[in-house]
Structure 1
Amino acid sequence: MRFKLIVALVENERTDTLLEAARQAGATGSTVINNARGEGLEKARGIFGMEITAQRDMLLFLAEEHISRHILEALARVGEFDETPGTGIAFQLDVEDAVGVKHQIESLISTPRAD
């Protein structure tokens, strides 16, 4: 099987909603890294010109190639990434090899494809 790593950087208050959307789209699990920090095109400034940085979560999904795009699109739709600037970003990367995913492969084999 071929896998993709889907990475989503999101506002932490949207994490649970996005995790559920990914699961509904076929994700079999995820890793959440809390308190990531990011910047957009311009730094956000608050009172007295101090920099404001909202805490974000990094969501990692190892997904089988044939369902990865479906998961990515679900994240974009539910997260409103293209509609609302600053809400988050998601992308996928090729995974050359993976171990420790035997249970995931068994689950995917018994699940119909989402083509």
Structure 2
Amino acid sequence: MKLRREHQLFVSIVKKHQAKKLVLAAKKAGAEGATILYAKGSGIREKKTFLGIPVHYEKEVILTIAKKNVMEQIIYHVTLAGNLNQSGKGIGFVLDLKQLTGIAHLLEDPADAEDTLIEEDEGVMPKEDIPFDLIVTIVKKGDAGKVIDSSLEAGAEGGTVLGARGSGIHEKASFLNIPIEPEKEVVLTLIHRKKTKEVLHAIELGVGLNQSGKGIAFVLDVDRVVGINHVIDELKQIDE
């Protein structure tokens, strides 16, 4: 495995049935392709219940890996295609990749493509120097609601839940010699770095992560965020 630091991962989260046009926009901007995951989520601007019944909004999560020299183009065109600059349309964020393997043609060292100038457009949010983190919490199925509720109370905007499977040392590996893969839920929480410690602590207490077998949570640095203009505007006003 080669150590490569020129690739990034662009994660965009949109409403169901919106991912296809974002993937098309990313490919036109230079991406090799993308992976779509199906999820559910909620935010502070979405209704939590309808007639007393909890509401879970279906989402699509798009994972796009590309070199840094084309990532700006991808962000620009995906933001336009998904109207991510408008409230409630979705969000996107970029993570740096420390290592990458499995796509040999991208790991070769051909001459980098020439940079393409991006025309200024008022509809696309400019890059801001405001630090964000991504809190990733992995819990047993049914506990994602506790994660989101705890994070909201601590100041988060919402969260996205992915279904998953997994096993740990505290879980039975088989039942009557039949392998068991306990169902899990992965919660993605995008948060301003000033609130990370508080939100992470709230999640720990709300779910009981300090107890064995309850789950884990970890924090990743976010290189850039798009699609949460209202949050950035509020943070600017606070800083001023």
CA contact (8 A) 1:6 1:92 kept: yes
- Report the TM-score when normalising by structure 1: 0.83
Q: Counterpart of 2:157? A: 28
> For 2:158 and 2:173, how far apart are their aligned partners in 1?
36
> For 2:206 and 2:172, how far apart are their aligned partners in 1?
24
Q: Counterpart of 2:181? A: 53
Match of 2:155, as an amino acid?
Answer: G
Q: Counterpart of 1:86? A: 213
SS at match of 1:44: coil
Which one has a bigger Cα radius of gyration? Answer: 2
Q: CA RMSD in A?
A: 1.9
Percent identity, aligned pairs only, is 30
Any idea what the Cα deviations from partners look like across 1:26-76, whole Å, max 9, x if unmatched?
A: 101211112x11221366234322222221111001100000111111111
> For 1:16 and 1:110, how far apart are their aligned partners in 2?
31
Runs of 4+ in 1 over 6 A off after TM superposition: none
The answer for unaligned runs of 5 or more in structure 1 is none
1:110 is displaced (CA, Å) by 6.5
Q: Counterpart of 1:39? A: 167
| Correspondence 1:7 to 2:136 | yes
The answer for unaligned runs of 5 or more in structure 2 is 1-129
Q: Counterpart of 2:14? A: none
CA contact (8 A) 1:43 1:51 kept: no
| Correspondence 1:105 to 2:227 | no
Q: Which has the higher helix share?
A: 1
Change (3 A) 1:50 1:73: same
**Relative contact order higher in (CA < 8 Å, ≥ 6 apart):** 1
> For 2:168 and 2:142, how far apart are their aligned partners in 1?
18
